[in-house]
Structure 1
Amino acid sequence: MIRCDVDGDVWRITIDRPDKAGALSREMLVELAEISERATTAKAVIYGGTGSVFSAGADFEQARAGLATDPVWERLSGAIAALPGFTIAALNGTVAGGAFGMVLACDIRVAVAKAKFFYPVMKLGFLPQPSDPARLASLIGPARAKMILMAGQKIDAAEALNWGLIDRIVPDDALSDHVEQLSGDAVNADHTHIHGIKQLIPDG
């Protein structure tokens, strides 16, 4: 349910569970974390999904059994944030709950117009993963972060772009090509140059 396709210096990591809206089990999260921890030689790492939803967050049954607060979420987002290559979230659809972590940890986020964004931790009675609120606030500001985390607001792609949560909206059929074009300069650069630029840009 997790695919990793390596094409030279580009790693494409895909959540492939469209029948369950990309819901993430603990096994899938561990696999995503392990792949991300190995992707240190990649110049570009692209995270995507299949179907109409990027990820609905935690698998419902496992969330009720404790997955919602499992440290594996933080392991995954930390691994992505630590990657020296250029990381892109290619969002084929909605992002919900814990799936925010991996998306927020990427360098940029590109989404299709139908995508929506919500993180219903207040309603569900869970705390967000430790690094997610700070990363969210660094992108959209503290008040808007509270709109999502505390007021439970579902944000559409247009509003997400206006807020700075995502960086570009593209047509569904252009997402893959657009992300490939965005990663082109990094793929043609030296590894140390990519990492050097990332280190010069503050997170927020």
Structure 2
Amino acid sequence: MIRVNHPRDGLVTISLDRPDKANALTEPMLDDLAQAFDAAGDARAVILTGTGRVFSAGADLDAARAGLALSPAWERLSGAIAAAPCLTIAALNGTAAGGAMGMVLACDLRVAVPEARFFYPVMALGFLPQPSDPPRLAALVGPSRARMILMAGQRIDAAEALSWGLVDRLAGAEVLMDTAEALAAAALGAAPGHVAAIKARMG
């Protein structure tokens, strides 16, 4: 349910591949994703995307009821993404919801299709967001807008997400991956150690 490809030197693409379930996440998928980012050691750029029309609906409902919503695997995954010594880009082929927002927030850059929506319904569902998600969200959109998403339960469309800084660029589905690869071009042309050094200085 996770596909890892190496389309060119220095570039890794990681795809959620469960389109019949809106790429809903199970614990094995979270573990596979974290391992894929850990294994991308010499990559200069990693692009995270999904198949189908939804990036991810968040936790698989059956798995969530069985305890996935409280699993440390979510935080382990976002930590692996944030720690990757390369440029990480989320190429959002559709809506990102719930726990899937954590991996989106942990990426360095975010490109989305205009049809994408963003929501994190922890207030309505009675769960807490993962510890690193609120500060990452606030760093992108500001504290009040972070509260709009996490506390007021607002659904944000792609245009608003762009104006808020939640995403960095919009691109149609047919050019989404090309747009992400174009953003990765400078990193792909550099030495891995140079990419890692610049990222380390970003904090």
Q: TM-score, normalised by structure 2?
A: 0.98
CA deviation vs aligned residue, 1:102-128 (integer Å, no higher than 9, x gap): 110000000000000000000000000
Letter in 1 for 2:29: M
**Cross-structure match for 2:102:** 101
- Counterparts of 1:69 and 1:88 in 2: how far apart (Å)? 26
- Counterparts of 1:79 and 1:62 in 2: how far apart (Å)? 22
Q: CA deviation at 1:189?
A: 0.1
**Cross-structure match for 1:110:** 111
Secondary structure at the counterpart of residue 153 of structure 2: coil
CA deviation vs aligned residue, 1:119-149 (integer Å, no higher than 9, x gap): 0000000000110000000000111001000
**Cross-structure match for 2:190:** 189
Correspondence list, 1:39-78, <5 A: 39-78=40-79
**Cross-structure match for 2:3:** 3
Correspondence list, 1:12-51, <5 A: 12-51=13-52
Q: CA deviation at 1:197?
A: 1.4
Q: What's the % identity of the aligned pairs?
A: 62
CA deviation vs aligned residue, 1:87-108 (integer Å, no higher than 9, x gap): 0000000000000111100000
- Counterparts of 2:61 and 2:87 in 1: how far apart (Å)? 31
Letter in 2 for 1:86: L
Correspondence list, 1:53-202, <5 A: 53-202=54-203
Q: CA deviation at 1:200?
A: 2.0
Deviation above 3 Å: which 4+ runs of structure 1?
A: none
Letter in 2 for 1:186: A
- Counterparts of 1:182 and 1:135 in 2: how far apart (Å)? 21
Secondary structure at the counterpart of residue 41 of structure 2: helix
Letter in 1 for 2:172: P
- Counterparts of 2:67 and 2:143 in 1: how far apart (Å)? 28
CA deviation vs aligned residue, 1:53-109 (integer Å, no higher than 9, x gap): 000000000101110110000000000000111100000000000001111000000
Q: TM-score, normalised by structure 1?
A: 0.97
- Counterparts of 1:81 and 1:96 in 2: how far apart (Å)? 19
Report the count of equivalent residues.
202
- Counterparts of 1:143 and 1:56 in 2: how far apart (Å)? 24
Q: CA deviation at 1:37?
A: 1.0
- Counterparts of 2:85 and 2:112 in 1: how far apart (Å)? 23
**Gap runs ≥5 in structure 2:** none
Q: CA deviation at 1:9?
A: 1.0
- Counterparts of 1:128 and 1:41 in 2: how far apart (Å)? 31
- Counterparts of 1:179 and 1:150 in 2: how far apart (Å)? 31
